[in-house]
Structure 1
């Protein structure tokens, strides 16, 4: 799971929140002005990825100047976008690249010591 995501020129921190669904009936939420995306931590990884895709899509529309968004459209496009990313291995490809980059940075740090 991503810890942050850049949408337009804004970096959003991705936070896992306890009881978000129970307390607020939300699986996820984006806070544009704080640069935060919150996800209910009790969801499966697949559901977290789907909800993250949904919230990122809100961010894309917001950063493109669409302050008013229809939730039904975001839900539908987000579900299809998640399917495209998942079934074309974008998630694992991204995670593999991120892991390789982290290992490379770790090696560089160890060499400096």
Structure 2
């Protein structure tokens, strides 16, 4: 059994655990920060992205999905994707980090 505490993740992207069949990573995006884009794909792996805290937007193959705490998005193998924190530090509640935990199956990184 592996147990990983992700509450204190503060690095942009950290692989925190893995086996031969899957892998877990944390990601923290500051307001206005994004990752990925039209060319970002994992040809052989699904990515399950869980929003632990914050808000943002996922764009998967051109379709937008609002992200809030508790949202779980499956980005299937081969789908282009971008995750972004659309908050603005000047907007009060929307100024915090977007914290996610992703599981890749099979491992990507």
TM-score when normalising by structure 2: 0.27
Q: Could you say which structure has the higher strand fraction?
A: 2
Q: Could you say which structure has the higher helix fraction?
A: 1
- Larger Rg computed on CA atoms: 1
Higher relative contact order (CA 8 A, sep 6+): 2
